């Protein structure tokens, strides 16, 4: 079996990618587990070596949904995944749950966020993501 560091190096990481990342804590700083995240760091900042800033994806959604969430496309029939996101059930980026991803903790790729959804995510995360990542 591959070491997680080897998996992380086997594919490039880019803006809007949905990745599986080990050791992601919940918003209360507890319950570390493998979670899906969307990469918020622009490709040019990634190439320049800036930190990988991501927004966490959750299936624990409030009803009614608040403005802190951006729902992602998914597909639910048994045995199928959404062709872009790879999601099989309703999930959203919680735009207040941002984190720095260590490349060694990336264990796989789910898909990517379509540009229309990414525009909404950027509106809600760009200021805090830039502060966390340090790019301009």
Go through the domains of the chain in sequence order and give each one's CATH number.
4-133 (2.30.30.110)
Q: What is the pLDDT of residues 72-91, one digit of tens each?
A: 999 878 778 898 999 999 99
User: Where residue 11 falls among pLDDT bands split at 50, 70, 90?
Assistant: confident
Give the pLDDT confidence of 52-61 residue by residue, as tens digits. Answer: 999 999 999 9
Supply the pLDDT for residue 118. 98
Predicted local distance difference test score (pLDDT) of residue 10 = 72
Summarize the confidence of residues 46-53 as an average pLDDT. Answer: 97
Put the strands of the sheet holding 52-58 in their side by side order.
69-71, 92-101, 52-58, 33-39, 17-24, 106-112
Residue 51 class from Cβ within 10 Å (0-12 exposed, 13-18 middle, 19+ buried)?
A: middle
Whole-structure pTM value? 0.90
């Amino acid at each position: 079996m591959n070491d997680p560091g080897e998996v992380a190096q086997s594919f490039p990481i880019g803006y809007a990618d949905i990745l599986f990342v080990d050791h992601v804590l919940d918003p209360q700083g507890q319950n570390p587990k493998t979670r899906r995240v969307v990469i918020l760091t622009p490709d040019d900042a990634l190439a320049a070596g800036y930190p990988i800033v991501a927004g966490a994806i959750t299936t624990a959604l409030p009803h009614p949904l608040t403005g802190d969430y951006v729902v992602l496309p998914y597909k639910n029939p048994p045995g199928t995944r959404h062709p872009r996101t790879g999601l099989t059930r309703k999930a959203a980026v919680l735009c207040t749950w941002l984190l720095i991803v260590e490349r060694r903790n990336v264990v796989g790729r789910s898909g990517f966020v379509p540009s229309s959804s990414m525009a909404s995510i950027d509106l809600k995360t760009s200021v805090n993501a830039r502060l966390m990542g340090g790019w301009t």
